[in-house]
Structure 1
């Protein structure tokens, strides 16, 4: 038994038109010649015919109504053209170039990227990948070849530096870093220790005795005076040596005192002599010869290769400690350097206008190219999906999207048919009476 509640409104309208036609036919047979009965039957016939015609037309889009084979089941017959048109519609309408670019322009890509990169989790992942990549790149390097290249580069760089530039740079570095005063302080401690040693006093005393002997032996009067002075205790070489040792200790301590007059005097004399040496051609020639000898004689290749081997050993076994750990601070320093460069890159992307524009342009260009490539892929996906559908699935897919409109088309067939039937019947009556 048919369930009336499961029928759509177009089927109900057509069924009502059929029953109304039966009622009109019965009234017409009962009351022949009655113009009202004839008009009612005329309208009912037109409504029924219009409803059946539109039902046939709508049904013929998807299947063969009542098995009629001619120009029916249009969608299954022309599914290839439908699929092609759907692909074109998706690519040209839904994902057109203008719409893609319009939506991309509304995105704030660089702020989104900076916000993502500023997250701690993102930073840790990026640093981990960079550390892993650098470790792998360093471990894959040929140490001997790299050592040879680096040594040649160092020799070329050092060979192009003038000796006077080295002296100026060293002097400036000593002044600015305060290492000159630190050096004098270290020298002061060494000198004080040496001056306070008993051997120093003994050496001074011997020098005084030698000096006294040389002076007293020059004349008989000097020898007599020396003997007389020793006899009465006017000359005590041991006491003089002790006093001189004490003075040396005082001078050594003063040399190490920060900003002391002696320290300033020594530093001034040192830099004055450096400036004099810097201008002397003979000293410059000596430095050039010394530089050439050192560059040619130093085994830079072996030193650099050993350093690279130590780095590779440490990178290959970062957890090793003790005497086997050649460079124990390499991994932490490398990670610290990567972290600093990561933060510096983010700061530059925010503050540097040229870099900001370049990165933003690159992001928009990359996204636009990806979207245009996806436009083609979307068409391929749509074509593949629609091609896999059966005729029934394809009919259901299309019908579900336009079902309300198709139902109203069928209902309009009955409604418009009834109206046209009424109009034609009135025209017939007017023609008969005229």
Structure 2
């Protein structure tokens, strides 16, 4: 490992310098006891420091190129990786520790508190509304037949007489009957006001006159005389009738006019009478059965959902919420319904002890199983990460974690060596 001088290297250099100074003093004063003591201790400290330097360095590299039993970590990297994986899986992610930590957690209060946060509640409701919208659109084709069957079933239960009665009540309450009658009057006014209509009226009068006088010679004679003296002018009569029709249609189209009220009253009276007729009853039931049998409800429902899906996808591509833009009332109602059910569900979980326990046990089981499965995943991750490291990177990874301790081991070698040298020097002096 290429590094600058650390405190252990500096300590070893100082010991080496002390050894050289002690050696010089010893050579200058060979009979001096203090010089011998300094040389003996510095020599032992130097040997101890070099020995520990060699031992520590041999864990990671080949010190001075010495090949035997050195560079231990790079040579045993596979065993180191396997041991690291085992350590992480069995110690940090052991079943005992996982369940011990989970038992300390109060899962349900934490979950309820988290779900009751306004921001979280709003986000979940938003997601649920979007999910329901997308789910319904995605299921439209599969559910088209079911929806059509439900529509047929509902329509089959509707009696035509009741339907007509409800329809008439709705027309009266909403004023749609007057609006409809005004539109009919406006349409026919446009038809009657033309010159062609006037000619048709004239033709009808002439045809009527021809029909009445066809078999009566005297009547023909009088009619011819009246036309000769201009007593009967079909052109003027047709114009007068046309004007009367236009006046009547104007009044019929005017809201809440007398003629309009009379016509509507007459219509409702005749509708009630008609609704009681057996023949009409049979006709409406046959018509209803025929419509239910022949109406293409499946294709209509499917086509409706297809068009909705295309339209909604176009809106989503423009980052526009289609429900909020086109059906705000529907979206607001959906949000209200989901919010009510959301609050009811949380309240039920809080109040029902059995349900609370069931949900808590389920969460505990899911989290525990997930954490246990993480053992394998963590092992794979650790193996993959460590396997990708070069020998130098692996050395640095381990060395950086224990560098202070390794430096003290090296310095302790010099300190212990000096101490042992001091003890041995006194032993030698005593025994000599």
Give the TM-score range, shorter chain. 0.5 to 0.7
Partners of 1:373 and 1:35 in 2: CA distance: 71
Matched residue, 1:212: none
Alignment of 1:112-151 (within 5 A): 112-118=110-116, 119=118, 120-136=121-137, 138-144=139-145
8 Å Cα contact 1:64-1:73 kept in structure 2: yes
Structure 1 position 374 matched with structure 2 position 374: yes
Alignment of 1:22-61 (within 5 A): 22-61=20-59
- Aligned-residue offset at 1:146: 6.3
Alignment of 1:17-416 (within 5 A): 17-118=15-116, 119=118, 120-136=121-137, 138-144=139-145, 306=297, 313=304, 317=308, 336-416=336-416
Secondary structure at 1:7's aligned position in 2? coil
Unaligned runs of 5+ in 2: 158-284, 313-326
* Closer, same or farther: CA 12–329 of 1 in aligned 2, 3 Å: closer
Structure 1 position 420 matched with structure 2 position 420: yes
Partners of 1:99 and 1:26 in 2: CA distance: 62
- Aligned-residue offset at 1:388: 0.7
- Aligned-residue offset at 1:112: 3.1
Partners of 1:78 and 1:304 in 2: CA distance: 80
* Closer, same or farther: CA 26–147 of 1 in aligned 2, 3 Å: same
- Aligned-residue offset at 1:394: 0.8
Partners of 1:334 and 1:122 in 2: CA distance: 14
- Aligned-residue offset at 1:426: 1.3
Runs of 4+ in 1 over 6 A off after TM superposition: 149-153, 297-301, 327-332
* Closer, same or farther: CA 140–314 of 1 in aligned 2, 3 Å: closer
Partners of 1:344 and 1:303 in 2: CA distance: 44
Q: Which moved more, 1:144-153 or 1:340-349?
A: 144-153
Secondary structure at 2:142's aligned position in 1? coil
* Closer, same or farther: CA 425–134 of 1 in aligned 2, 3 Å: same
TM-score with structure 1 setting the length: 0.57
Partners of 1:89 and 1:334 in 2: CA distance: 52
8 Å Cα contact 1:58-1:406 kept in structure 2: yes
- Aligned-residue offset at 1:142: 4.6
8 Å Cα contact 1:20-1:44 kept in structure 2: yes
Total equivalences in the alignment: 283
Partners of 2:145 and 2:362 in 1: CA distance: 39
Secondary structure at 1:140's aligned position in 2? helix
Unaligned runs of 5+ in 1: 159-293, 321-326
Q: Which moved more, 1:346-355 or 1:410-419?
A: 346-355
8 Å Cα contact 2:386-2:394 kept in structure 1: yes
8 Å Cα contact 2:125-2:335 kept in structure 1: no
Query: Which string of whole-angstrom CA distances, capped at 9 and with x for unpartnered residues, describes residues 40-72 of structure 1?
Result: 211111111000000000011110111111111
* Closer, same or farther: CA 305–390 of 1 in aligned 2, 3 Å: same
Partners of 1:25 and 1:112 in 2: CA distance: 73
Partners of 1:328 and 1:404 in 2: CA distance: 67
Matched residue, 1:179: none
